[in-house]
C-alpha cells in the first residue's frame, strides 16, 4: 500500500491474472468449507437431539 510507483499496463494485466487465479481457488475453498460447515452443523444438531432423548429416558428410569 505504501508503494506508489507506476505499474505498466502489462504488469497490471499480469498481476490481475495471478489474482484471478488466486481468487478462483479461494472462492472454491470458501464454498467447500461452507458446505462442510453445513454438514457439521446438522451432525451437531443430530447428536444433541440424541443426547437429549437419552437424558429424558434416563430421567424416566430414575423417576419411574
- The contacts of residue 49 (CB under 8 Å, 6+ apart) are none
Kindly report the length of the chain.
64
Residues 2, 3, 4, 50: which binds its own copies (CB under 8 A)?
50
From the CB of 58, what's the least distance to other proteins, in Å? 29
43 or 59: CB nearest its own copies: 43
**Quick check: 23 binds its own copies (CB under 8 A)?**
yes
State whether residue 25 is helix, strand or coil: helix
Farthest CA pair distance, the chain: 82
7 or 51: CB nearest other proteins: 7
Amino acid at each position: 500500500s505504501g508503494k506508489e510507483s507506476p505499474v505498466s499496463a502489462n504488469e497490471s494485466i499480469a498481476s490481475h491474472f495471478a489474482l484471478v487465479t488466486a481468487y478462483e481457488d479461494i472462492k472454491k475453498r470458501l464454498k467447500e468449507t461452507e458446505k462442510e460447515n453445513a454438514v457439521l452443523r446438522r451432525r451437531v444438531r443430530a447428536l444433541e437431539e440424541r443426547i437429549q432423548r437419552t437424558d429424558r429416558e434416563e430421567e424416566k428410569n430414575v423417576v419411574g
